[in-house]
Amino acid sequence: MTSKKVPTRKPRADAEQNRTLLLETAKAAFTEKGANVPLEEIARAAGVGIGTLYRHFPNREALLQEVYRDESEKLAAAAERLIANEEPLEALREWLRLFVRYFATKQLVIGALNAIVGPGAKLQASAAHIETAITTLAKNADKNGDIKLDVAPLDLLRAVIGIAAHSKPGWEKSAYKMVDIILAGMARE
């Protein structure tokens, strides 16, 4: 009972084109104007009807997830690389900085992060990647005796995001410092 009938024919070319086009347009729009751009504006900019946008992405979160799927995958990959090549604690620290940087250079902030780290997040695609990454890194550092992990790994991100969400201009600096503070605070003496 997986897929009813499968007399399906090949997905239409125009559909796939539009999908891609929408993703590109959306990415630009999110970067430029933040995660709350009216979806209708994105559709217009892409030259398609609003209905088409919604057919491809049932809601804003879905669109955000897809748009930042790349980034999430890169972050996930970075996590693996760091774990392989660095001391656990430094791996964790470096990854957190990477996280900050990724979302500093995009105007990603709040909206998108809600999709990833928020309460409702259906742990899909990007969300899952991010959560796996931070969890692995944190547990790794914990097992290695570097830190005492007595908060949920995601809470580390949440704290950092708190900074991102509220300070406007150069919040990365503050976020970096917060990373160091938090790691220092979790260190086993």
Q: Residue 104, class by beta-carbon neighbours within 10 Å (0-12 exposed, 13-18 middle, 19+ buried)?
A: middle
Does residue 188 interact with a copy of itself by CB under 8 A? Answer: no
Token couple for 113: 């992060």
Say how many C-beta atoms besides its own lie within 10 A of residue 184's C-beta: 9
Which does residue 70 touch among a copy of itself, DNA, none (CB within 5 to 8 A, set by kind)?
none
Considering only the stretches 37-45, 93-101, 112-120, 168-176, report the one whose residues sit in contact with DNA under the rule CB under 7 A. 37-45
**Residue in 58, 101, 145, 187 binding DNA, rule: CB under 7 A:** 58
CA 167, 60, 9, 2 dihedral sign is positive
Does residue 77 interact with DNA by CB under 7 A? Answer: no
| Shortest Å distance, C-beta 148 to a copy of itself | 9
Does residue 59 interact with DNA by CB under 7 A? Answer: yes
Does residue 177 interact with a copy of itself by CB under 8 A? Answer: yes
| Shortest Å distance, C-beta 177 to DNA | 34
Q: 3-class SS at 187?
A: strand
Q: Considering only CA atoms, give the Rg of the chain.
A: 19
Q: How many residues does the chain have?
A: 189
**Residue in 51, 119, 120, 170 binding DNA, rule: CB under 7 A:** 51
Q: 3-class SS at 167?
A: coil
Instruction: List contacts with a copy of itself (CB under 8 A).
Output: 114, 117-119, 150-152, 154-155, 158-163, 165-168, 174, 177-178, 180-186
